[in-house]
Amino acid sequence: MAKELSSDGFEPVERIEGRADAGVLLLCDHASNALPQSYGTLGMASADLAAHIGYDIGAADLTRRLAARLGAPALLTRFSRLLIDPNRGAKDPTLVMRLSDRRLIPGNARIDAAEIGRRRALYWQPYRAAIDDMIAKLSARGPVPAVISVHTFTPVWHGTPRPWQIGILWDNDPRLPHPLMAALEARGIVVGDNEPYDGALPGDTLHEHVTARGLAGLLIEVRQDLVATPETAHDWADLLADVLSPILTRPEMHEIALGSSRAVCGRR
State the CB neighbour count (10 A cutoff) for residue 245: 14
Spacing of C-alpha 248 from chain mean position: 19
3-state class (DSSP) for residue 222: strand
State the CB neighbour count (10 A cutoff) for residue 256: 10
Indicate the domain borders of the chain. Answer: 3-254
User: At the topology level of CATH, where does 3-254 sit?
Assistant: Aminopeptidase (3.40.630)
3-state class (DSSP) for residue 76: strand
> CA–CA separation, 195 vs 197, rounded Å?
5
Under the banding of pLDDT at 50, 70 and 90, the label for residue 266 is: very low
> CA–CA separation, 234 vs 254, rounded Å?
26
Q: In the prediction, which pLDDT does 168 show?
A: 98
The CA–CA distances, whole Å, from 59 to 66, 146, 153, 164 equal: 10, 19, 10, 16
Kindly report the pTM of this predicted structure. 0.93
> CA–CA separation, 268 vs 246, rounded Å?
29
* CB burial of residue 136 (10 Å; 0-12, 13-18, 19+): exposed
Q: Phi and psi at residue 45, in whole multiples of 5°? A: -70, 150
Query: Partners of 16 in the beta sheet?
Result: 74
pLDDT one-digit tens code per residue, 59-93:
999 999 999 999 999 999 999 999 999 999 999 99
pLDDT one-digit tens code per residue, 119-163:
999 999 999 999 999 999 999 998 999 999 999 999 998 889 999
Q: ∠ at Cα 112 (206, 79), nearest 5°? A: 45
Number of H helices, E strands in the chain: 7, 12
More confident site: 33 or 3: 33
Amino acid at 38: S
